[in-house]
Amino acid sequence: MHYFALTVLLTCLLVSPPASAGRKPELPKCGSDRQGKYWPEEANGSREKILAAARCGILHRCVKKRWTYKWERWTISFQELKGEDVSCEARPQTSVDDDPAKADEKSTLGETN
């Protein structure tokens, strides 16, 4: 009986598509020229873009695995774990003046100079 249940469970897992199968991104070829680079391409030049892609759950990095190169997904969003649609709304930019603690540090540094 246990073997039958295990067989049914494994069959269901193998036949069912993964949660992200419906919206796979088109990733470029991962090779030695892209090793260590992020996808989406915008994330390579900006820390804010890396964080935004990580929040959306779309951040990938080209890594070398033994003899081959492949894209590894580095993050997953909580919405995706819950089975919801992922919303990738841009967060508003915060400046140093918006944070009271950092604004106080900035003002005290300006007074000592």
Please give the pLDDT value at position 10. 60
**99: helix, coil or strand?**
coil
Report d(CA 111, CA 113) in Å as an integer: 6
Please give the pLDDT value at position 55. 84
Q: What is the pLDDT along the chain (113 residues), one digit of tens a residue?
A: 666 666 666 665 555 555 545 555 688 999 999 999 999 999 998 899 999 888 888 899 999 999 999 999 988 877 788 888 777 765 555 555 555 555 555 555 555 54
Could you tell me which residues are beta bridge partners of residue 32?
A: none
Q: What is the DSSP string of 1-43?
A: -HHHHHHHHHHHHHHSPPTTGGG---PPPP-TTTTT-EESGGG
pTM value surpassing 0.75:
no
Please give the pLDDT value at position 57. 84
Return the domain boundaries, the chain: 26-77
Please give the pLDDT value at position 87. 72
